[in-house]
Amino acid sequence: MIVGFLNLTWPVFADALALGGIYALMAIGIGLVFGVLRLVNFAYGQLIMAGGFALAFGSQWGLPSWLSILFCFGVVLVLSLLMEQLVFRPLRTQSPVVMLVATFAVAFLLQSIALLEWPLGKVAGQLAVWQMPWDIGGHPIRKVAVIAIAAAAACLVLLQLLLTRTPLGLHMRAASMDFRTARLLGVRANRVITGAVLISGVFAAIAAVLLSVQDIQITYTFGLQDTIVVLAGVVVGGMNRPIPATLGGFTIGFATGLLGGILPSNQSQYLTSFIFAAVIVVLLLRPNGLYTRAGGTAERV
């Protein structure tokens, strides 16, 4: 018990941390693509939905869980590449509004295909066992929470290494600072963008696995609400740099999980309002992001 009277218990705290971790992964996925393409990928939620359906089909076909997870990664990565080739690439020179609305259109298309073909999927089998609690220091903590926290931490460390220690990471950072100059200095646009889209796809697949274990019912709106919340988190944190964006995603996930866990149900139904009211307040006070240094370039959307 940290604060007993708010019924904040260790399991609630762990679940909140896990949600923060998952949202942080999604925030990186959205932030990386925004960095190199200046494109807010709204269809990110539909990548996660596709991953969720892949897992559901995997368990329906009786695949072992490692194979289902592999299948989920495959589906999400192929879909990410297709999106990049068919939609993002031709629109690369367009204004951010057109690109954003184009990702809406992609999201709408994927959602309506899912609605038509697969009304409901269910993740079962070995993956559902992750729902069971482990006993940690006398507190029943769900396995998926522990796995999510560990996976998020590992991914963040790996990404940081990739960004700071490899040529691709260097190119990506250069491209997100100033794409034109980076190209003049020999950064290959297509390679960097494909790289960012692929890494973003990997994070979407990981998020899909973790989210679909938490909520085993997969519908055509799976991942949609999460993506909206993460998008808000990314902008609140600071869209232009990976670390503020990630922190923003983590903060909003953690806050959502924590408030959802400790508020009584007659108040937690207004949780969305609390969170988004906070988003508005932060944006008014720090329009460039909560975790960025003051002063940035003015932009028009």
247's tokens: 């922190």
Decide whether 63 or 91 has the Cβ nearer to other proteins: 91
Closest by Cα among 13, 35, 20, 4 to 238: 35
180 binding other proteins? (CB under 8 A): yes
189 binding other proteins? (CB under 8 A): yes
48 binding other proteins? (CB under 8 A): no
181 binding other proteins? (CB under 8 A): no
The kind and range of the H/E element at 22 are: helix 10-37
94 binding other proteins? (CB under 8 A): yes
Give the x/- contact pattern for other proteins in 12-41, rule: CB under 8 A.
Answer: -------------------------xx-x-
Decide whether 200 or 288 has the Cβ nearer to other proteins: 288
82 binding other proteins? (CB under 8 A): no
Closest by Cα among 126, 151, 166, 244 to 205: 151
Pick from 124, 198, 279, 290 the residue near other proteins by CB under 8 A.
Answer: 279
56's tokens: 């559901």
CB 107 within 8 A of CB 220: no
Q: Which residue pairs, CB below 8 angstroms and at least 24 apart, start in 78-82? A: 79/47, 79/50, 79/110, 79/201, 80/47, 80/197, 80/198, 80/200, 80/201, 80/204, 81/194, 81/197, 81/198, 81/201
Count Cα atoms within 13 angstroms, Cβ side, for 40: 20
By rule CB under 8 A, what count of residues binds other proteins?
A: 57
Closest by Cα among 290, 267, 296, 261 to 278: 290
CA distance 31 to 29: 6
Pick from 104, 131, 134, 191 the residue near other proteins by CB under 8 A.
Answer: 104
Pick from 228, 243, 259, 290 the residue near other proteins by CB under 8 A.
Answer: 228
Compute the least distance from the CB of residue 160 to other proteins, in Å.
24
Report the SS3 class of residue 135. strand
Decide whether 22 or 231 has the Cβ nearer to other proteins: 231
290 binding other proteins? (CB under 8 A): no
CA angle (160, 162, 165) in 5-degree steps: 95
185's tokens: 């200095």
Pick from 61, 66, 108, 134 the residue near other proteins by CB under 8 A.
Answer: 108
265 binding other proteins? (CB under 8 A): no
> Which parts of this chain interact with other proteins (CB under 8 A)?
37-38, 40, 86-87, 89-98, 100-102, 104-113, 115-116, 179-180, 183, 189, 224, 228, 231-232, 235-236, 239, 269-270, 272-273, 276-277, 279-280, 283-284, 287-288, 298-301
